[in-house]
Structure 1
Amino acid sequence: MTTNINNDALNELDDNQEDGQEELYERMSLVVDRGQEPMRLDKFLVARIEGASRNKVQQSIENGRVLINGKQVQSNHKIKPGEEIVVYSDKEVQGEEIIPQEMPLNIVFEDDDILIINKPVGLVVHPASGNPSGTLINGVAWYLLQQNKNLNTDELPRFGLVHRIDKNTSGLMVLAKTGKAASSLAKQFFDHTIHRQYVALVWGDVAEESGTVNAHIGRHQRFRKIFDAYPDGDYGKEAITHYKVLERMGYVTMVQCELETGRTHQIRVHMKHIGHPLFSDELYGGDRIVKGTVFTKYKQYVDNCFALCPRHALHARTIGFKHPRTGKHVQFESEIPADMTALIEKWRNYVKVKNII
């Protein structure tokens, strides 16, 4: 049994199909012209949005992804001059086929509307060209089909994915089980009201106890498989990361990062931008000795640390949001995984032995 997922906009990164901490919905806003004659909302949007079909527009309206002056309306709503129309739409276009595939899923919470999954290191979130199986979405498709044999498989994964995290980042993701839940979560992501808290181990002694990095993120001008920070804001997309020091360990620091926006590789790029690349991050310079001594024993020690955690040291620990059905705030947390825990303990012991703080 197979179904379709729209993902061409998701598969442009590096050869390992790395993803980013990115929301997968965008918002279009327009104001009805002063001289506009009354017209059904669905007909108006089909005429104004390139490639939109009447059926797709009506589904979006039904699922709450179209608002008039901030309120949900029906497809037959007659638009009036001066009304503000906001349309939330997914960025995905027709793409790969999803093959439901049995795999272990660490489901932290589930109800009729959402799934909270603790994603392990090394698991790609979604299929991409030439990589149709073995991803989180393949596993979710299989899991949901086992729950409901009568489920419309053509719709299944489309509603699921509203954000994503890196292949080699561990931690919590929320997936929607219905179109309305996806719409609610998409709006919260876009409005920056989703609470996302990450734990990272970065190189260097971070000077300030807390701070904010506000620098646009876009593809690197020379190396197109990575991203870079553009503080002047003349390229890329707005990106804001708040950080706080949790523990200082000499040549490395454990920090807490909160995402206000969700851009590809945001935390990794922002921490590098302020001179503190994530430990063991091969894309952004953290897989070499950035701080420390020149002694051979220190190099051996750091190599042992890289072996303990052979991926960028980043974990999505907390996610909180308004529940799509009840409107009540819900929040979920996960423990730091074993590889990062071992790495942190090794640095703690190094600090004690060397007495470098």
Structure 2
Amino acid sequence: MPAKEIAPKHIAAPLLAWYDRSHRRLPWRAPPGANAADPYRVWLSEIMLQQTTVAAVIPYFEHFTTRWPTVEALAAAEDGDVLAAWAGLGYYARARNLLACARAVAEGHGGHFPSTEEALLGLPGIGAYTAAAITAIAFGERAVVVDGNVERVVARLFAVEEPLPSAKPALRTLTDTITPTARAGDFAQAMMDLGATVCRPRSPDCLVCPIADSCDAARRGIADLLPKKAQKAPRPVRYANVYVLRDRGEILLVRRPPRGLLGGMLGLPMSEIADAPMADNTHPGAPALTRWSRGEGRVTHVFTHFELHLTVFSGDLSGITKPAGDWRAADESAARDLPTLFRKALDFAACVDDF
């Protein structure tokens, strides 16, 4: 732990003044100084923003809040409708937890999010960061909010050279030392904005940073070297077959099992995932006994813990009994409710064999 100490007022005052002038205008935010925001909108945005960029989230957030403007409305929604609206945003366990949490709030809390970190942690899909963010931003209570942007700012501010992820506990402790009681939500969002727009991962703009005078890494000229990151192990590669089955201008879609990869989502028929490619003359998971044509090459999609290589097969019923499923017109609308993985496969199939 660095020996340097920084008084909270030396960070909070200039940072909040900068935030008042330069904050990002985002659809889930209350204006600076409001001291609180709509808990539903804060919660929804924080769940969507996990592992996803602000630019990607904004249209999804606006669609969700137009269609389901309250937590009660979302709780009453059909699972398939919510999963379809989430399609393309990725990390689909979040969508399932979103519904579970909305229903827990509607049924167990009278439609009101609890205002303490402890109570929020008892809700599905809410971890330590999200609980702290809701507590500070939605309720104006002091909480230590640490996301990737905040970790970067604090690592540079205190010149923490221990690499991530092992440095996470120390960075949270240091964030606690500079977190004020007043304007807790604005402070949390100011730290996030500073990391996103000024204290960037590459080429931090220290000349315009409102807290550069207190930053040890800026003083030492090592800001662009921090935070250090431990070398990641290579991501394993896995394999599966996916099937585009056509019948008179329609393609077959199926609902995936509720648990597991892309659980509950609408998708193309697919084999089990394997550690090695499958022989071209075998078709595990195929929805029909027909002649399957294989596209040249594979579709690649990266998940958090592995890289998936899909072999795409196209086939036509040609008089074979039509299997059950969700048959859709074989045009761009077919991909609308699908996760990105299956959208890629449909694009690939269209390239090798026109709809």
| TM-score strictly above 0.5 | no
TM class, shorter-chain normalised?
under 0.3
TM-score (norm 1): 0.23
Query: Which one has a larger percent strand, Structure 1 or Structure 2?
Result: 1
Larger radius of gyration: 2
Query: Which one has a larger percent helix, Structure 1 or Structure 2?
Result: 2
